[in-house]
Chains A and B, each alone.
Chain A
Amino acid sequence: MSSLAQKKGFGAVIWDYLTTVDHKKIAILYLISGGFFFLVGGLEAMMIRIQLMKAGNDFLSAGLYNEIITMHGTTMIFLAAMPLLLAFMNAVMPLQIGARDVAFPFLNSLGFWLFFFGGIFLNLSWFMGGAPDAGWTNYASLALASEGHGIDFYSLGLTISGFGTLIAGINFLVTIINMRAPGMTYMRMPLFTWTTFVASALILLAFPPLTIGLFFMVFDRLFGANFFAVNMGGNTIIWEHLFWIFGHPEVYILILPAFGIFSEIFAIFSRKRLFGYTALVFATILIGFYGFMVWAHHMFTVGLGPTANAVFALATMIIAVPTGIKIFNWLLTIWGGSISFTVPMVYAVAFIPSFVAGGVTGVMQAMAPLDYQLHDSYFIVAHFHYVIVGGVVLGILAGTHLYWPKMFGTMLSEKLGMITFWFFFIGFHLTFFIQHFLGLMGMPRRVYTFGADQGWDLFNMISSVGALFMAIGVLVLLVNVVLTTVKNVRVGNDPWGDGRTLEWAIPSPPPFYNFAQTPLVRGLDTYWIEKMEGNKEGMVYAEPLGDVHMPNGSIIPLIMSFGMFVAAFGALYFLDDTKPWALAVLIIGLGITFGSMLVRSLKDDLGFHITKEELIEDAKRGGNTDGLK
């Protein structure tokens, strides 16, 4: 188990990643697969914008258009944005709290593979008879009427990847509650850790309603139940409720970690302690609570009645308050700081006005009477892209630049980064700002074309050009990644020079055991405190150097998830008369999953120890071995 640094062949590296339980490598897996799905979703977006480029276009047929918008939304939310955020949470949060790994490394890997196979399953629908076409919200009256198996790919795929996300959320909660280094009290946790914490709590509470909804959907469509079938005494509105009870917290699951990344960036590149740290923490918690009490604002036009609409309208407006608190705290953090406009900082500064614009339209939509005008128009499309692209995606891009050196040990080029930024930022506003007006002019959402006499031609054309700009920005980012990787200029612990939190006190990338000695935390911005006191090592230690206990890698999570993947095909074809083998496939798949669970439970795996001598030896070599064995 020793020999820490060795050159290994390509096959060994692949095997290492397939079996890894190391949070830093799982982060890289999330980054790669999330990035891949981001490109897939982006391609779908480009096709939508090409179709809407001019009146009466026939680039896509109406049916295909429905499939593409559905897959675009579903892919972007569940398979791109969430995994990319989970990548940063995995890469950074354990380092920020001074932990050697997450609480359950095995589950961490299981969570990733479930997400991965769920995503692959969903996307296989393209090649196996057609993708889902009832929108990312999959409203039951549409979904139950949809022909073919598209919807089943949606519900089964999301069930599987949803389990993965739920596992990841629980894992982070336990990690943050139990594995903080000595001295790391709750009120000393970096803001990114805080937002990870609250977002994980939201995952824990929000995913079960979705799972229930999806279960009902699966049973209605594949096993002959009638939960949502109105003609059989079911209630189609209940799907909408279940979906949005999950759906609104979901948007906060996305935005809170992005808030966390921006909070880190503002403090680092203003070289100041975060203004109003306590207020930021409590605003985060408050948003977490409110997030659950507003779901019906997506259903104002369903006919819930004036009382329900009024209650949910008010509750929705209240959410803007803690969000506003955060905006002011960030502004006051920048105020009077010694600012350096690096790429992450530029993203963060651009985020503020973009996100505020999305918040303002949100409050407008929260007024139920007005929402009768806005609902299902392009105004809504503009709103949620302003919050999701202007908030979450800018956060992910900023985080990519900020944490790239910590994850890979190299710096992305600042120059190319700026090019990406300007293309993306200008393209983003070009695409979506004008959609507010398209919405007000009456252009409905989710309709595959429009007429030349409706006066929407020019604005749609501008919108499509904007999308092209964003695509160029993303391509430049890819070039940047390739060039940086090829050049391979290694960087030290604190490449930005102004790191404040623990992750910047250790090598980039960190050794696979993270901290040779558990650090002692003496206040908020731990690393900054040590730097200011002239501590060359950047840390004080809570324990003497000793043996470190590490978990073994395992292929079981991959096999377990693969079993679910196989079983999903069985369930999918269960009712088809032409496919009698479906039941067998279902049983085999579940057999693989439960069999590997059994192996996992019966086989003791006590992990291994890195001895003190090996740690000393490793430190002499610079300390950033990746533990390939």
Chain B
Amino acid sequence: MAHDTPEKIRSHAEHEYLKKKRSTEMRHQLTSFAIMIFLTLIAFTMVAAGFSAYLIVPIILLLAAVQVVLQLYHFMHLSNKGHGTVAFFMFSGMFVAFITVLALVTIVWW
């Protein structure tokens, strides 16, 4: 319950540790943000450069997948402790959905 959460009093060492941890986290977020911008730029450039659609589509899909993973781990805190079950469920759900949709689409429309 929110209303009876006790106030936490941290020792100096704890405080320092948290500070350090937060700054690394921040650095990670900034790096991945930069990477994401860069990936987006690649995608736009490819389209602008007018490559064949057979090249562009798979590459953009791949870039999108990388973006999703970066997003999940660095911004949505999937890397934090205690998210194992969540990650397991998400990835097995995605896996099942992916296989199912793939099989369905190939059977019906190929």
Q: Which A positions have Cβ atoms within 8 angstroms of B? A: 173, 177, 201, 204-205, 209, 235, 237-238, 241, 245, 289, 292-293, 296, 304-305, 308, 549
Flag whether B92 is at the interface (Cβ < 8 A).
yes
Minimal beta-carbon separation of A368 from chain B (angstroms) = 14
Contact A241 B108 (CB under 8 A): yes
Contact A235 B96 (CB under 8 A): no
Chain B interface size, as a band, is 10 to 19
How far, in whole Å, are A289 and B95 apart by their CA atoms in the complex?
Answer: 10
Flag whether B24 is at the interface (Cβ < 8 A).
no
Minimal beta-carbon separation of B3 from chain A (angstroms) = 9
Flag whether B100 is at the interface (Cβ < 8 A).
yes
A308 nearest in chain B by CB position: B107
Flag whether B104 is at the interface (Cβ < 8 A).
yes
How far, in whole Å, are A207 and B75 apart by their CA atoms in the complex?
Answer: 30
Contact A235 B108 (CB under 8 A): yes
Contact A201 B108 (CB under 8 A): no
A312 nearest in chain B by CB position: B103
Interface string of B73-110 (1 = CB under 8 A from A): 00000000000010001001100110110011011100
Pick the contact of B108 from A205, A237, A289 — CB < 8 Å? A237
Contact B104 A292 (CB under 8 A): no
If A177-B85, A549-B1 touch, whether A292 touches B96 (CB-CB below 8 Å) is: yes
How far, in whole Å, are A173 and B99 apart by their CA atoms in the complex?
Answer: 23
Q: Is the interface of B mostly helix, strand, loop or mixed?
A: helix
Chain A positions within 8 Å of B107 at CB level:
241, 296, 304-305, 308
Pick the contact of B92 from A241, A289, A304 — CB < 8 Å? A289
A299 nearest in chain B by CB position: B107
Task: Return 27 A-B CB contacts under 8 Å, by A number.
Answer: A177-B85, A201-B89, A204-B93, A205-B93, A205-B96, A205-B97, A209-B100, A235-B108, A237-B108, A238-B108, A241-B104, A241-B107, A241-B108, A245-B100, A245-B104, A289-B92, A292-B96, A292-B99, A292-B100, A293-B99, A293-B103, A296-B103, A296-B107, A304-B107, A305-B107, A308-B107, A549-B1
Minimal beta-carbon separation of A604 from chain B (angstroms) = 12
Minimal beta-carbon separation of A226 from chain B (angstroms) = 16
How far, in whole Å, are A305 and B107 apart by their CA atoms in the complex?
Answer: 9
Minimal beta-carbon separation of A580 from chain B (angstroms) = 39
How far, in whole Å, are A304 and B108 apart by their CA atoms in the complex?
Answer: 8
Minimal beta-carbon separation of A490 from chain B (angstroms) = 36
Minimal beta-carbon separation of A246 from chain B (angstroms) = 11
Minimal beta-carbon separation of A131 from chain B (angstroms) = 30
Which 6 A-B pairs have CB atoms at the shortest separation, nearest pair first?
Answer: A292-B96, A308-B107, A177-B85, A241-B104, A304-B107, A205-B96
Extra pairs beyond A177-B85, A292-B96, A296-B107 (8, CB < 8 Å): A205-B97, A209-B100, A241-B107, A245-B100, A245-B104, A289-B96, A292-B100, A296-B103
B4 nearest in chain A by CB position: A549
B86 nearest in chain A by CB position: A177
How far, in whole Å, are A173 and B104 apart by their CA atoms in the complex?
Answer: 27
Chain B positions within 8 Å of A235 at CB level:
108
How far, in whole Å, are A92 and B107 apart by their CA atoms in the complex?
Answer: 42
Chain A positions within 8 Å of B96 at CB level:
205, 289, 292
Minimal beta-carbon separation of B92 from chain A (angstroms) = 7
Chain B positions within 8 Å of A205 at CB level:
93, 96-97
How far, in whole Å, are A74 and B100 apart by their CA atoms in the complex?
Answer: 25
How far, in whole Å, are A238 and B96 apart by their CA atoms in the complex?
Answer: 18
Minimal beta-carbon separation of A41 from chain B (angstroms) = 30
Instruction: Give the interface centre of A205, A235, A549 by most chain B CB atoms within 10 Å.
Output: A205
A202 nearest in chain B by CB position: B96
Chain A positions within 8 Å of B104 at CB level:
241, 245
Minimal beta-carbon separation of A252 from chain B (angstroms) = 13
Chain B positions within 8 Å of A177 at CB level:
85
B99 nearest in chain A by CB position: A293
Minimal beta-carbon separation of B2 from chain A (angstroms) = 11
How far, in whole Å, are A209 and B103 apart by their CA atoms in the complex?
Answer: 14
Minimal beta-carbon separation of B4 from chain A (angstroms) = 10
A288 nearest in chain B by CB position: B92
Chain A positions within 8 Å of B97 at CB level:
205
Minimal beta-carbon separation of B56 from chain A (angstroms) = 29
Minimal beta-carbon separation of B14 from chain A (angstroms) = 24
A242 nearest in chain B by CB position: B104
Chain A positions within 8 Å of B99 at CB level:
292-293
Chain B positions within 8 Å of A241 at CB level:
104, 107-108
Minimal beta-carbon separation of B1 from chain A (angstroms) = 7
Minimal beta-carbon separation of B104 from chain A (angstroms) = 6
How far, in whole Å, are A201 and B93 apart by their CA atoms in the complex?
Answer: 9
How far, in whole Å, are A305 and B104 apart by their CA atoms in the complex?
Answer: 13
Interface string of B17-47 (1 = CB under 8 A from A): 0000000000000000000000000000000
